Chain A
């Protein structure tokens, strides 16, 4: 066994350790009727497929709409706003949707509407980012050559982007497949999914063995779906290119409509909450502490993601290792949280390290599927050339891969940081008290204080935006420094 294999196995062990711990604690078994399992599977599959499809579709148009914004800072703000539904408590999203979809169609259609609304912004940001990386100067070239837009889309855009779209579809499919709250509320009671069954086993029957088995089954299904998926071949663009030509006014209008619909409901709650400033004054010290708590959790999660992404680069994600990364799905949030809990060190600094680690573990293979693999693949020819010229592994990593991948790694790290800032589910399991603004928001929601929770969720957004911008900025600085 080579050192590289050992390193790869180490990474696999890290990513799969929740399952190992859960198997150690609970014996696999399943006490569930076939009909119930089939129902949950069918629902999970159908709602995820449709949700991912529509999120990518709407996200595509919105991405083109965002290209129409010339000012970079304005576009950055719009992109951040597009990510907002991703990390706010589900209640705020649902209220916004119920505001303009009335009567709301419960069932699969309802679930698809809510998921599409939650993920279209993320899809738009990722598609925009991938178009910039993949198409590079081709857009400018087509524009200069006077190629019609229709022809460009048919002969260049879709053929070149199909693998990226498929990767993004798969990523969103998995996000929706493991969704919990939305299928319950928007499904009108018919929304049983695998994740709901897992929860039911843990909460009601305290049958954790069955919950672990279901989670394992869920991972196996995702593995089956992802195993033969395409590998993208993004060509990283090294120079700034204008994509203004691709802009879509309709896309921008669509985005503004969706954003307005969301903001109308959300800002009303904000205004109500702000009228109760006394409440926040009384809690000012706790809030300040939790503000820094959120910041630290986000920064640590982003930093750890950054390191692990480059560990994956160093380990060469090819052969069995590449397939593993493309196909593996971590256990459900609650089970991953429990696995970390079982490690001990649950007080003092423990939760501060474990929460970011849990997030890295939960999102790593998703990031890989989403775009990290295609970014690595795009450097294959340069790596081969460097090898032919006699460069060793370290030199290739230091002078070829690292400088070119910093930007993308920072973006992905920023996303994980953003999710971590907005999380309360994992944190609630691993921390013994409220340590972040998101946790406090959730606590307020469970004690009638919905207006105050709205205000706090806005601060969650601000912290999220801050860490996201920090990683993007840090990426740019590092990229300039290391490309010299």
Chain B
């Protein structure tokens, strides 16, 4: 006799098989027809539903007579390895999401197609980042400290102010070994103060820091949850709270020292299969429409001039950057990065430098 339990188990099995079959079919539709499928390797916050990826995809597929498929990677290191594994079999047409600290590795590991976008009407801050021939920046962000209004009696205006007792154990930073903003902070200090003085400053900072998080998201989360009063993040971070959460409590701080800039790059691997289509997609990303999507989803500055005109992004720029110098663009060598990180680690261990 068939019991209710048997029926439930039977139904569960049927649903499971159906779910897997539908999923498989959908995946095939998305990526395995090999008919003009452009494969884009990108990080998850670019490809997620709230990121710019899906909107750009929808726009692109309307006109390209092709299909666009995103392949996610949790970080640049894994993306590069995944490229190595899948480049020959399935192909990779575009990689999105390197910052200036990844470029050296990417250049060493693979051959990339030369890209020429010198005719674009770019923001002056972005032009130096076009110096290399293989990678083009598609957005950029300026990093500084963010605070909540009213949390602190006095706001820091220069790096040395961060050592004031008022900020002791109130600063959320990222670990430079695992996080790009963490690395940006390290470079900010070193490039501003010089290496020796910079490391002396970093040593003093250790007592001021609430926590060194492995990622930007964790440091920012601790700040959002009021566990820290200052967090190293993007000048545009308060805009997210203002535009999405209608919250105006957050404030980006201006510093006397030139601030660091994070550029996000894209590149077309030499082994691309749909190279022309990939280039078309790059053109879309660098068009005013594409740039607006990226700006509004990523909360980063667009590289094209005039895109942010009349938007809150322009206000941020006017108030905090316009009359200030930014640190000059550089692609640090792997040796430089490793040396600085080694010194940082030694400091943490309490070894003399």
A contact set with B: CB distance below 8 Å: 33, 35-36, 39, 90-91, 94-95, 98, 103-104, 106, 180-181, 184-190, 192, 196, 199-200, 202-206, 208, 265, 269, 283, 286, 292, 296, 299, 334, 338, 341-342, 344, 346-349, 352, 425, 428-429, 431-434, 439-440, 442-450, 477
Contacts and interface: CB of A to CB of B under 8 A. Distances in A.
Contacts of A35: 349, 351
A276 B77 CA distance: 35
A-B pairs with lowest CB-CB distance, top 7: A428-B74, A446-B217, A203-B77, A348-B27, A189-B212, A432-B71, A443-B48
Contacts of A446: 44-45, 215-217
Contacts of B19: 292, 296
15 contacts: A36-B345, A186-B211, A189-B209, A189-B348, A190-B349, A204-B341, A208-B81, A283-B49, A348-B23, A349-B20, A349-B27, A428-B72, A433-B71, A448-B220, A450-B225
B85 A202 contact: no
Contacts of A450: 220-221, 224-225
A111 B177 CA distance: 18
Identify whether the interface residues of A are mostly helix, strand, loop, or mixed.
helix
B249 interface: no
Interface of B: 5, 16, 19-20, 23-24, 27-28, 31-32, 44-45, 47-51, 69-78, 80-82, 85-86, 89-90, 105, 109, 169, 175, 177-178, 206, 209-218, 220-222, 224-225, 227, 237, 240-241, 244, 299, 334, 337-338, 341-342, 345, 348-349, 351
A425 B73 CA distance: 11
A123 to B, nearest CB: 25
Contacts of A286: 49
Contacts of B27: 347-349
Contact of B24 (A269, A342, A344, A349): A349
A428 B72 CA distance: 7
Given A200-B178, A446-B45, 7 more contacts: A180-B214, A187-B212, A190-B349, A283-B50, A338-B81, A432-B72, A447-B50
A341 B81 CA distance: 10
A185 B209 contact: no
B237 A296 contact: no
Nearest to A337: B78
Residue in B85, B105, B109 with the greatest tally of chain A CB atoms within 10 Å: B85
Given A189-B212, A447-B45, A204 B338 contact: yes
Contacts of B342: 33, 36
B102 to A, nearest CB: 9
A443 B214 contact: no
Given A341-B85, A446-B216, A192 B349 contact: yes
A222 B211 CA distance: 29
Contact of A185 (B45, B206, B214, B225): B214
Given A35-B351, A348-B32, A98 B222 contact: yes
A184 B214 contact: yes
A56 to B, nearest CB: 27
B227 to A, nearest CB: 5
A334 B78 contact: yes
Nearest to B224: A450
B70 to A, nearest CB: 6
B78 A192 contact: no
A40 B345 CA distance: 11
Residue in A98, A425, A443 with the greatest tally of chain B CB atoms within 10 Å: A443
Nearest to B202: A189
A98 B218 CA distance: 13
Contacts of A203: 75-77, 177-178
Given A185-B213, A347-B32, A448-B240, A443 B45 contact: yes
A106 B211 contact: yes
A85 to B, nearest CB: 16
B78 A200 contact: no
Contacts of A449: 50
B211 A348 contact: no
Given A181-B214, A352-B23, A192 B221 contact: no
Nearest to B28: A348
B58 to A, nearest CB: 14
B349 A447 contact: no
A440 B47 CA distance: 11
A204 B349 contact: no
Contacts of A442: 44
B70 A103 contact: no
Contact of A188 (B49, B90, B109, B209): B209
A107 to B, nearest CB: 11
B148 to A, nearest CB: 14
A317 B297 CA distance: 54
Contacts of B209: 188-189
A428 B45 CA distance: 12
A203 B179 CA distance: 10
Nearest to B169: A103
Nearest to B75: A203
A181 B221 CA distance: 14
B345 A188 contact: no
Contacts of B237: 448
Contact of B225 (A189, A265, A296): A265
B214 to A, nearest CB: 4
A33 B348 CA distance: 15
Contacts of B351: 35
Nearest to B51: A447
A347 B74 contact: no
Nearest to B241: A448
Contacts of B70: 432-433
A190 B28 CA distance: 47
Contact of B337 (A95, A180, A204, A428): A204
Contacts of B337: 204
Contacts of B73: 428
Contacts of B44: 428, 434, 439, 442-443, 446
A347 B237 CA distance: 35
Contacts of A196: 177-178
A338 B177 CA distance: 20
A91 B82 contact: no
